Amino acid sequence: MPNTVTLTDNRRGKSYDFNILDGTRGPSVVDISSFYSDTGMFTYDNGYTSTASCNSSITYIDGDKGELRYRGIEIEELAKSKSYLEVCYLLLNDAMPNELQTKEFDLELRHRSFLNEGLAQLFRAFPAGSHPMATLTAATAALSTFHFNHLELCKESEYQRMARRIVAKMPTIAAFAYRQSIGACFIQPDITKSYTENFLYMMRAYPGGKMHIDLDGERVIKEIEIKALDTIFTLHADHEQNASTTSVRNVASTGAHPYVAISAGVSALWGRAHGGANESVIKQLEMIGSVENVDAFIARAKDPDDEFRLMGFGHRVYKNFDPRAKVLKELQVQLQDELKLDSNLMKIARKIEEIALSDEYFVSRKLYPNIDFYSGIILTALQIPTSMFTPVFVIGRTVGWITQWIEFKKGKGMKIARPRQLYLGK
């Protein structure tokens, strides 16, 4: 039986056959859906390191090769030649848009970017100084009160409308969350501006929509900044079945409102082990303080008796260079040249990277710089406050979450998520 795996229970002297399922890429899987009924036992996989929780045709990762694809297209190609909105369209429709479709998609998102005035009032109810991620999570869930009819979606047009609405509104929600956190007035979207520029505009503009200009009389929002942030959005758009995406799918399995499911993803992303990692990278660089201190902290990172760990190195899935990090490394060089940046943090990061890529300790353990190592540096260069690093991640990832939600809802044999346990109590 070449397409099965045989497991033997040596205590009972019994063997069981389970089917092997082959995907179009990546490792095959063993279908153990009947394992409990066949054997009377559960499998145990702490952290789901060897468990496929679903089937999907959205995103593919090969961690050993350092490969990431959206709908079959390599991330490097998308990040360098396509806009974030084109990538959004690709994820939602499984096809790249033509020129007319891109324009129509862009125009629709511009007009859907405004928030209901009742939702805007909600921001004013939060205490001054609230962390933007806390406000963002609450506001995302609150969207379900304004668009409550999304529980009964049937037509493709209804799925698309629901998805495009939240993708369009997330930059506005994030910008409002930031301005509430610093006690500034809200800036409404400007439909004459592109998706990414609009977010920077809502973050930076003065009352009345006035934009600051530099000493040369130029607008603060430069094309290179828009391109850089757009690239970051693209690199964050989806990443297979990570913790936040799994949270979205698990909530979707209960039949909850899609925007509530997205809110669960936002909450999961906030953790330092997930979307909050780039914020931790910057804090650590600030703690190191200067290039002269790097060697001492590298030594601490290598000391097994020291709890200190370098942030931004290694990845749960990638055992080669994170392909997203490669793109951002090139972008960092470009920003440094075009914006004439050479900050102290960038000097420290460059020194750490130089050592880590040549030191046997890091190389043998495959501790390569990951996306968080570079994204924090670039966001700092773009004058994005540290508290907004994870909300930026949220903006980029929203399209992936909602695409995963749609795929789950349309899937056959949908079941509520219900892991089992190894009980060790009394």
Kindly name the residue from 150, 236, 257, 315 that is annotated as catalytic.
Answer: 315
Mark whether 372 is an active-site residue. Answer: yes
Question: Could you count the other beta carbons within 10 Å of the beta carbon of residue 386?
Answer: 16
Give the burial class of 242: count Cβ atoms within 10 A of its Cβ; 0-12 exposed, 13-18 middle, 19 or more buried: buried
The Cα–Cα gap between 359 and 361 comes to 5
Q: Counting Cβ atoms within 10 Å, is residue 148 exposed (0-12), middle (13-18) or buried (19+)?
A: exposed
Q: Which of 271, 236, 280, 241 is nearest to 394 (CA)?
A: 236
Catalytic residue flag (residue 236): no
Angle between helices 223-236 and 371-381 (to 10 degrees): 150
Give me the count of residues in the chain.
426
b/e map 362-385, b = 16+ CB within 10 Å: beeeebbbbbbbbbbbbbbbbebe
Cα dihedral 340, 344, 346, 351 sign: positive
3-state SS assignment for residue 212: coil
Which is catalytic among the residues 230, 238, 322, 372? 372
Tokens (6 digits) for 414: 């949908």
* Positive/negative CA dihedral, 155, 160, 165, 166: positive
Residues annotated as catalytic are 315, 372
